[in-house]
């Protein structure tokens, strides 16, 4: 990987307010690009808003729709990679919790949430692919909120070449400190065990459908140490430098880099 500056956007994303959410995204992207970021990261379902009610399906977008084209133009105009989320409806009518990878050259990929949380079942269809993407000088995977609780997913992404795993959240309840403490029970392990950067962040504020989000973010080095953190609960852009030397510090040391010495052939489930 190369050194990459990212802009992590903690945002309020009301359900169904797609035009307003896109406008807010564009404003943040302009600021991110002006600040020198190569990549701007938005929360889970920031374009459509998130809720765990069946009515969310009425706001689901298609990959070929005008909203995705508008988001793609934002990336092109500002010369920056964007990670943006939406409820996605496919040609058969299935709805996914999806995250787009938008580059100045267009949409290069989409991640569909693999692990659907119990309150989301009956709303979202589970994705069945574990892709990784290359953009902004890094190889990365994306997980969405509940996905982060399943260690095998992070290992699968690492085996495919991921150096960074981005984990956008729409995780309600509690205050920012409580949410951070909850994340600290599993996110450092995902970074340390796989020798990858982990970047996680959340929506904030009321969603207009009965949920409130505490608004926090954290970035963790491949060593498992926190390199950036915010628990203010406010909307904002948080700058994180993902430095190649932090990855090399772990992966270049025989006793620190555990992942190549795994023996998956003997792990039985």
Q: Give the whole-angstrom CA distance, residue 263 versus residue 157.
A: 16
Please give the backbone phi and psi of residue 218, each rounded to the nearest 5 degrees, phi first.
-155, 145
Q: How far is CA 164 from CA 13, 82, 122, in A?
A: 25, 15, 31
- Residues 173/212, Cβ–Cβ less than 8 Å: yes
To which H or E segment does residue 191 belong? helix 187-194
Cα–Cα–Cα angle for 69, 72, 76, rounded to 5 degrees = 135
What pLDDT is attached to residue 208? 81
CB 28 within 8 A of CB 7: yes
114 neighbors 127 (Cβ within 8 angstroms) = yes
What contacts 160, CB < 8 A, 6 or more positions away? 130, 131, 132, 141
Residue 268 has what pLDDT? 78
pLDDT in tens, the chain (269 residues): 999 999 999 999 999 999 999 999 999 999 999 999 999 999 999 999 999 999 999 999 999 999 999 999 999 999 999 999 999 999 999 999 999 999 999 988 999 999 999 999 999 999 999 999 999 999 999 999 999 999 999 999 999 999 999 999 999 999 999 999 999 999 999 999 999 999 999 999 998 888 999 999 999 999 999 999 999 999 999 999 999 999 999 999 989 999 999 999 998 76
Spell out the domains of the chain, with CATH numbers in brackets.
Answer: 4-266 (3.60.110.10)
């Amino acid at each position: 990987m190369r050194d990459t500056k990212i802009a992590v956007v903690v945002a309020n994303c009301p359900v169904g307010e797609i035009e307003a959410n896109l406008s807010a995204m564009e404003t943040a992207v302009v600021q991110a690009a002006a600040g020198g970021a190569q990549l701007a990261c938005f929360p889970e379902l920031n374009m459509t808003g998130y809720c765990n009610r069946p009515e969310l399906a009425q706001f689901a977008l298609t990959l070929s729709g005008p909203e995705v084209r508008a988001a793609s133009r934002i990336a092109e105009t500002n010369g920056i990679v964007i990670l943006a989320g939406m409820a996605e409806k496919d040609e058969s009518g299935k709805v996914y919790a999806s995250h787009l990878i938008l580059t100045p050259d267009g949409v290069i990929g989409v991640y569909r949430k693999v692990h659907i949380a119990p309150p989301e079942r009956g709303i979202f269809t589970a994705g069945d692919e574990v892709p990784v993407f290359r953009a902004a000088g890094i190889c990365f995977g994306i997980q969405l909120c509940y996905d982060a609780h399943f260690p095998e997913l992070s290992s699968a992404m690492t085996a495919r070449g991921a150096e960074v795993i981005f984990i956008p959240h729409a995780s309600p309840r509690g205050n920012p400190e409580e949410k951070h403490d909850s994340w600290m029970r599993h996110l450092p392990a995902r970074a340390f065990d796989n020798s990858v950067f982990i970047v996680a962040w959340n929506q904030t504020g009321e969603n207009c459908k009965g949920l409130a989000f505490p608004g926090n973010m954290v970035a963790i080095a491949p060593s498992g140490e926190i390199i950036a953190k915010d628990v203010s609960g406010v909307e904002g852009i948080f700058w994180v430098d993902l430095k190649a030397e932090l990855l090399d510090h772990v992966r270049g040391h025989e006793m620190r880099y555990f992942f190549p010495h795994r023996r998956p052939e003997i792990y039985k489930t």
